[in-house]
């Protein structure tokens, strides 16, 4: 399978070793802003003669662009698309999925939520006929680290610094702290699994700025904690800090770990836990999506 890659950042660098040792894949080229392989990305796609575009450019949570345009351009050239960029799924999932279907192409995006841990593929591959009724997830690592640091006696700023040292938080952490990252993931989950048509701005969103360290420590003595939880059910999609019992599955993720629980019609309640993920897990999700394109009859 000939692969063109847009974006040459952390995920692409972690993906390359996986592709290089798999003879089924051939890298046609890599194009990024500062390392252009052609005057513009459309020329790059034309020249690549690739069968699939791997879209790994920077997330724009407010518009999903220019990644949405990149994906349309690939479909227009009869290329399948695999992406880890949640912008397009949070902003344009239905139009992109419909375009892929109309052209007989495949569109895969497992790593957009919880990296390579199977979230979308759990339902696609393992639970045919199951309908998702709702979800609740602790999906943002930076806020987890900040809340844990405050529980240990530190301040909000200590938690932000710790998350930055681990390379998880941006220099300006508002995207995580104000719940935008979790809202983008909630929108992606709702669009794909609940059939909603929602963008991150339409998610009811409250971040963790108002959580007081003293309140967290006193909750802890009562066997409770606070986590930033993304919930979706019917039309109600929201992100907010919630008080949880320590024994609640949503409260059990430590460090950068993520947890999601699904309510379904035929399979009751089930969850996926990802322990301390990094870019390797994101790259794996992209690789697994690429492998799935090779399977005969895969949708
Ligand atoms: N890191 C993770 O573990 C993780 C987890 C889940 C999902 N993701 C998603 O995966 C994607 C890639 O993440 P990353 O960590 O690899 O990001 P990154 O290290 O910031 O790299 C992003 C790359 O995209 C390129 N780029 C940005 N805008 C572009 C444009 N308009 N045209 C061409 N190239 C462009 C950048 O080029 P320049 O450097 O030349 O500007 C850079 O090479 C993001 O959407 C991210 O949200 C990442």
Bridge partners of 27, per DSSP, are 3
Q: What pTM value is reported for the model?
A: 0.96
Among the atoms of ligand 1, which is closest to the Cα of residue 34?
A: 40
Distances (CA, A) of 26 to 49, 268, 283: 11, 42, 16
Q: How many helices (H) and strands (E) does the chain have?
A: 11, 11
Minimal-distance CA residue to ligand 1 atom 45: 85
Cα(38) to centroid(ligand 1), Å: 18
Cα(7) to centroid(ligand 1), Å: 5
Among the atoms of ligand 1, which is closest to the Cα of residue 281?
A: 3
The DSSP 8-state label assigned to residue 8 in this structure reads: -
59 lines ligand 1 (CB under 6 A): yes
At 275, give phi and psi (nearest 5°): -90, 120
Among the atoms of ligand 1, which is closest to the Cα of residue 11?
A: 16
Q: Which of 185, 205, 227, 231 is catalytic?
A: 185
8 lines ligand 1 (CB under 6 A): yes
Tell me what pLDDT residue 296 has. Answer: 75
Tell me what pLDDT residue 197 has. Answer: 96
Active-site annotation holds for 185: yes
Tell me what pLDDT residue 61 has. Answer: 87
88 lines ligand 1 (CB under 6 A): no
Q: In this predicted model, what pLDDT tens digit does every residue of 29-81 receive, in sequence order? A: 999 999 888 899 999 999 999 999 999 999 988 899 999 999 999 999 999 99
Among 16, 58, 74, 189, residue to substitute to test ligand 1 (most atoms within 8 Å of Cβ): 58
Give DSSP secondary structure letters for 195-264: -----GGGSEE--STT--HHHHHHHHHTTEEEEEEEEEETTEEEEEEEEEETTSGGG---TT-EEEEEEE
Among the atoms of ligand 1, which is closest to the Cα of residue 278?
A: 3
Among the atoms of ligand 1, which is closest to the Cα of residue 277?
A: 3
48 lines ligand 1 (CB under 6 A): no
Cα(57) to centroid(ligand 1), Å: 4
Cα(202) to centroid(ligand 1), Å: 24
Among 32, 64, 73, residue to substitute to test ligand 1 (most atoms within 8 Å of Cβ): 32
d(CA 94, CA 74): 16
Residue numbers of the chain with a pLDDT score lower than 70: 297-299
């Amino acid at each position: 399978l000939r692969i063109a890659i847009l974006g040459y950042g952390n995920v692409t660098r972690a993906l390359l070793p996986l592709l290089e040792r798999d003879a089924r894949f051939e890298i046609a080229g890599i194009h990024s802003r500062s390392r252009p392989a052609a005057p513009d990305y459309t020329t790059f796609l034309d020249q690549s003669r690739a069968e699939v575009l791997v879209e790994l450019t920077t997330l724009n949570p407010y518009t999903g662009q220019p990644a949405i345009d990149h994906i349309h351009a690939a479909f227009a050239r009869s290329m399948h698309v695999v992406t880890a960029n949640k912008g397009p799924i949070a902003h344009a999932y239905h139009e992109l999925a419909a375009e892929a279907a109309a052209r007989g192409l495949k569109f895969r995006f497992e790593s957009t939520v919880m990296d390579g841990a199977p979230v979308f593929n759990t339902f696609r591959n393992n639970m045919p006929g199951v309908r998702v009724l709702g979800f609740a997830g602790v999906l943002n690592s930076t806020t987890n680290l900040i809340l844990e640091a405050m529980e240990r006696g530190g301040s909000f700023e200590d938690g932000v610094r710790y998350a930055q040292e681990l390379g998880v938080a941006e220099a300006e952490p508002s995207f995580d702290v104000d719940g935008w990252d979790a809202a983008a993931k909630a929108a992606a989950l709702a669009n794909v699994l609940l059939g909603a048509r929602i963008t991150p701005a339409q998610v009811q969103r409250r971040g963790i700025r108002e959580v007081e360290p003293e309140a967290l420590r006193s909750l802890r003595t009562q066997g409770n904690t606070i986590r930033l939880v993304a919930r979706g059910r019917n039309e109600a999609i929201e992100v907010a800090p919630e008080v949880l019992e320590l024994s609640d599955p949503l409260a059990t993720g430590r460090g950068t770990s993520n947890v999601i629980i699904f309510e379904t019609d035929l399979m009751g309640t089930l969850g996926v836990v990802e322990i301390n993920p990094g870019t390797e897990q994101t790259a794996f999700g992209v690789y697994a999506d690429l492998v799935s394109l090779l399977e005969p009859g895969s949708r």
